[in-house]
Amino acid sequence: MSVRRLLLVRHGESVWNVEQRVQGHECRGLTDAGHVQAQRTAEVIGVHFAGATLVTSDLGRCQDTAAPIAAALGVVPSVDPVLRERHFGRWEGLTREGLELDDPGRFRRWRAGEDVIGEVGGESDVEIRARAARVFAALLGPGSDDGSGSGSGSDDAPRTVVAVTHGGTIWYGVHELLRFAGYRLGAVHNASLTELVLGGRGPAGLDPELPQLARFNETSHLG
Nearest to 58 by CA among 31, 78, 30: 78
| Ordered strands of the 4-10 beta sheet | 78-79, 53-56, 159-165, 4-10, 193-198, 212-218
Task: Locate the domains of the chain by residue range.
Answer: 4-87+123-222
Active-site residues: which are they? Answer: 11, 85
Q: Is 185 exposed, middle or buried (0-12, 13-18, 19+ CB in 10 A)?
A: middle
CA-CA distance, 159 to 38, in Å (whole number)? 23
CA-CA distance, 23 to 26, in Å (whole number)? 5
**Residues 8/172, Cβ–Cβ less than 8 Å:** no
CATH code for 4-87+123-222? 3.40.50.1240
Per-residue pLDDT at 150: 39
What pTM, to 2 d.p., does this model score? 0.91
Per-residue pLDDT at 52: 98
Q: Which stretches in the chain have pLDDT values below 70?
A: 1, 143-157, 200-208
Per-residue pLDDT at 3: 87
Q: 58 by DSSP, 3-state: which?
A: coil
